[in-house]
Structure 1
Amino acid sequence: MAEAKAIRMPRRFDYSSSGDFNLAVTNALGESSHIVLDGEVLDYIDSAGIGLLVMAQKRAQSQQAKVSMINLKPAILEILQLANLQKIIDIR
């Protein structure tokens, strides 16, 4: 497959992001075995957003693909680490 496919995360990642995010993940998995979620502008994530990340990882894993996150702000990184997401998603 092709090189990593980047998905730019929205400023606010919660349940309202699910439709666009799931479509982006589906498209990315069709093009690549590595999805990179770019959190440069991500300012807010709630439990629904964390759930969306877990589901994306499970979908990727079922297709032998990988999910990574980059450019996270310290507060977002801390939230993801408290949720132990670094155990299933490569967070850089």
Structure 2
Amino acid sequence: MPIQANLSNDGQVLTIRVSGRFDFGAHQDFREAYERSGLTPQRYVVDLQDTDYIDSSALGMLLLLRDHAGGDSAMIQIIHCNPDVRKVFAISNFEQLFAIE
């Protein structure tokens, strides 16, 4: 499964792991990953360790997650980016909107 979501035991952190291509084909699964929990975690972590490709639709999905999580006050961390994915984030100035590690 390309998108997996795990809520921490205390319900405070939702980790969404994306595998393979992060593109429009992942839209529905990605959205369900953060909407289906029915809870409002304090923090979101998007783990891209197994992501080998990202496109502009994925950037849009991350912006939708940001809006869902509270906009400017959202606590979203994007972790384990490979150099190609990191370059897309840099070109798009996503470092201004997300904590990228």
State the TM-score bracket (shorter-chain normalisation).
0.7 to 0.9
1:37 offset after TM fit, Å?
0.3
Unmatched tracts of structure 1, length 5 or more: none
- 1:55-77 CA distances to partner (integer Å, 9 max, x unpaired)? 11111125x54111001101101
More helix by share: 1
- Residue 69 of structure 1: aligned partner: 78
**Contact 2:17–2:46 (8 Å) recurs in 1:** yes
Return the letter of the residue paired with 1:43: D
- Residue 30 of structure 1: aligned partner: 39
More strand by share: 2
User: Structure 1 stretches (4+) deviating beyond 3 angstroms?
Assistant: none
Return the letter of the residue paired with 1:86: E
State the identity as a percent.
25
- Residue 17 of structure 1: aligned partner: 26
After superposition, the Cα gap between the structure-2 partners of 1:29 and 1:57, relative to the gap in structure 1 and judged at 3 Å, is: farther
After superposition, the Cα gap between the structure-2 partners of 1:47 and 1:29, relative to the gap in structure 1 and judged at 3 Å, is: farther
- Residue 69 of structure 2: aligned partner: 60
**Contact 1:29–1:60 (8 Å) recurs in 2:** no
Report whether the alignment pairs 1:46 with 2:55: yes
SS of aligned partner of 1:40: coil
Higher RCO, 1 or 2 (CA under 8 Å, sep at least 6)?
1
Query: Within 2, Cα distance between the matches of 1:31 and 1:57?
Result: 13
Output the aligned Cα RMSD. 1.8
Unmatched tracts of structure 2, length 5 or more: 1-9
- Residue 90 of structure 2: aligned partner: 81
Q: Aligned residue pairs: how many?
A: 91
